[in-house]
Amino acid sequence: MFIPERIWPGIADGTRQKALVSRDEDPGAWRAAVYSDIPLTTQWDDGQHRGDGLGTQPTSSNSMPRMVFAMLADLGVRDGDRVLEIGTGTGWNAGLLAHRLGDANVVSVEYDPDIARTARENLRRARLSPLVVVGDGRLGHAGGAPYTRTIATCSVGEVPYSWIRRTADGGMVVAPWGTTYGGEAIARLTVVGGGVASGTFTRPSAFMRLRQQRTHRPPFEAYLRGKPWPADGERGTTSLSPAETGSWLAQFVIGLRVPAAFWRAERYEGGAYTLWLYGADTASWASADHVPGDTEFEVVQCGPRRLWDEVERAYGWWERHDRPGFERFGLTVSEAGQRVWLDDPGDSWAV
Ligand SMILES: C[S@@+](CC[C@H](N)C(=O)[O-])C[C@H]1O[C@@H](n2cnc3c(N)ncnc32)[C@H](O)[C@@H]1O
């Protein structure tokens, strides 16, 4: 009832997409994909991509069932709860919530009017009619406030403060959260009063970013500033394998300690690759060359920030704390901004 005729099935462990599957052309494959535990891309490039191939960026989907149910478990709704969802997509999650709590207790906000219209039709087919609002989910939906639960099904780097403000004290905000560096996890925040919400991360996730918080990634030429590579880069070596920094969890932790930076991998034959690090302001970059089996790796660093040194320090910090998992990290959001912490909310730092 919720899945369109044309879908690009995803792969369970990430956000990569496979080729188009059309219900009209291959009903068996379509049905198999719909009843698999995988995300299904339903729109590319904010609707600009109309062809059969893969677009550049998936921008709407039906989320992976296991993740939808895990997040609903995190949300822990009870009878009488009023829920705000950000990112209606196909409407499936809004439908699950409306089935559980009643149509009148669910509001879902979707930025894309075409997607919202289709979601309403899907929901009607399932005999459900939660309120689907077209708008910028960052602002929530004041008409239905206060909510006792707010859930985002697109990820954020910054939790919009209106989500906290419009959720009642004792209520909960569940949202995929990650820095520009990479890695992402579900933040489960309780609104503790005084306009503050705080809680730990529950599990890793890989959602599409809220439209207005997508990261702009300047091309490498912007960093070289007209000079041939390595420009003013200083060469050095490291004993930390760049590969060690690449897991979803390691990326998440590095992102908590290394602000306004992102990475890209340039891969060669035989498993070797260059890890490129970039400062968001284009003033600094670094590279670290990974060669399988080596114990020393070449590094080049350029600009006022020594980005590889920052990554190495962040990784060392994580190791010294016995490599804590997602669930030992937490997030506190107040009107003054957001802060992250490890184990102790009293010992936090701004992100
Ligand atoms: C992963 S999909 C939602 C999945 C859906 N909830 C489900 O049941 O499977 C993410 C959706 O968030 C929407 N979105 C992105 N930015 C938004 C914003 N600022 N406000 C509202 N919706 C937004 C996208 O258009 C997309 O449809």
Is 212 touching ligand 1 by the criterion CB < 6 Å? Answer: yes
Q: Measured between alpha carbons, how far is 147 from 82 in angstroms, rounded to an integer? A: 5
- Are 207 and 241 part of one and the same domain? no
**pLDDT for 215:** 86
**91 CA to centre of ligand 1 in angstroms:** 9
Is 153 touching ligand 1 by the criterion CB < 6 Å? Answer: yes
Domain count, the chain: 3
Is 237 touching ligand 1 by the criterion CB < 6 Å? Answer: no
**pLDDT for 89:** 98
- Are 334 and 185 part of one and the same domain? yes
Pocket test for ligand 1, best of 42, 44, 154 (most atoms within 8 A of CB): 154
- Are 89 and 168 part of one and the same domain? yes
Here the CATH number for the domain that contains residue 285 is 3.30.160
Is 333 touching ligand 1 by the criterion CB < 6 Å? Answer: no
- Within 8 A by CB and 6+ apart from 28, the residues are none
In 3-state terms, what secondary structure has residue 171?
strand
Contact between 140 and 109 (Cβ < 8 Å): yes
- As a dihedral over the C-alpha atoms of residue 206, residue 175, residue 38, residue 109, rounded to 10 degrees, the angle is -120
Q: Measured between alpha carbons, how far is 204 from 148 in angstroms, rounded to an integer? A: 24
Pocket test for ligand 1, best of 60, 136, 158 (most atoms within 8 A of CB): 60
**pLDDT for 316:** 98
**279 CA to centre of ligand 1 in angstroms:** 28
CA 90 from chain center: how many Å?
A: 18
Exposure string of 298-335, with b = 16+ CB inside 10 Å and e = fewer, is ebbbbbebbbbebbbebbeebeeeeeeebeebbbbbee
**136 CA to centre of ligand 1 in angstroms:** 10
**pLDDT for 14:** 61
- Are 264 and 183 part of one and the same domain? no
Phi, psi angle pair for 323, to nearest 5°: 50, 60
Is 10 touching ligand 1 by the criterion CB < 6 Å? Answer: no
- As a dihedral over the C-alpha atoms of residue 330, residue 162, residue 145, residue 125, rounded to 10 degrees, the angle is -80
In a domain, 92, yes or no: yes
Among the listed residues 148, 215, 231, the one whose alpha carbon sits nearest the alpha carbon of residue 179: 215
In a domain, 21, yes or no: yes
Q: Give the CA distances from residue 231 to residues 222, 228, 242, 267, 276, in Å, rounded to whole numbers and listed in that order.
A: 12, 5, 22, 22, 15
> Which tokens belong to 182?
């990479």
- Are 197 and 333 part of one and the same domain? yes
Query: Which residue out of 60, 61, 63, 108 is catalytically annotated?
Result: 63
User: What are the 10-residue block averages of pLDDT along the chain, 351 residues in total?
Assistant: 96 76 97 96 94 92 96 98 98 98 98 98 98 97 95 98 97 98 97 96 96 91 87 94 97 98 95 96 95 96 97 98 98 98 98 96
**pLDDT for 100:** 98
Q: 17 is in which domain, residue-wise?
A: 6-62
Is 209 touching ligand 1 by the criterion CB < 6 Å? Answer: no
Q: Whole-prediction pTM value?
A: 0.96
Which residue minimizes the CA distance to atom 14 of ligand 1? Answer: 87
62 membership: H or E segment, kind and range: strand 58-62
- Are 158 and 274 part of one and the same domain? no
- Are 289 and 335 part of one and the same domain? no
- Are 69 and 208 part of one and the same domain? yes
198 is catalytic: no
Instruction: Give the atom of ligand 1 at the shortest distance from the alpha carbon of 43.
Output: 27
Pocket test for ligand 1, best of 63, 100, 110 (most atoms within 8 A of CB): 110
**pLDDT for 15:** 59
In a domain, 129, yes or no: yes
**pLDDT for 227:** 87
- Within 8 A by CB and 6+ apart from 140, the residues are 84, 86, 109, 147, 150, 160, 162, 163, 166
- Pairing state between β 273-279 and 261-267: antiparallel
Is 62 touching ligand 1 by the criterion CB < 6 Å? Answer: yes
**87 CA to centre of ligand 1 in angstroms:** 3
Q: Give the CA distances from residue 318 to residues 182, 206, 288, 324, in Å, rounded to whole numbers and listed in that order.
A: 16, 22, 19, 7
> Which tokens belong to 278?
């970039």
In a domain, 1, yes or no: no
Render 275-330 in DSSP notation, one character per residue: EEEEETTSS-EEEEEE-TT-SSEEEEEESSS-HHHHHHHHHHHHHHTT---GGGEE
- Are 162 and 150 part of one and the same domain? yes
- Are 77 and 188 part of one and the same domain? yes
Radius of gyration of the chain (CA): 22
Which of the listed residues 62, 85, 101 is the one where a domain comes to its end? 62
- Are 20 and 33 part of one and the same domain? yes
- Are 21 and 168 part of one and the same domain? no
- The span from the first CA to the last CA of the chain, in angstroms, equals 41
Contact between 257 and 317 (Cβ < 8 Å): yes
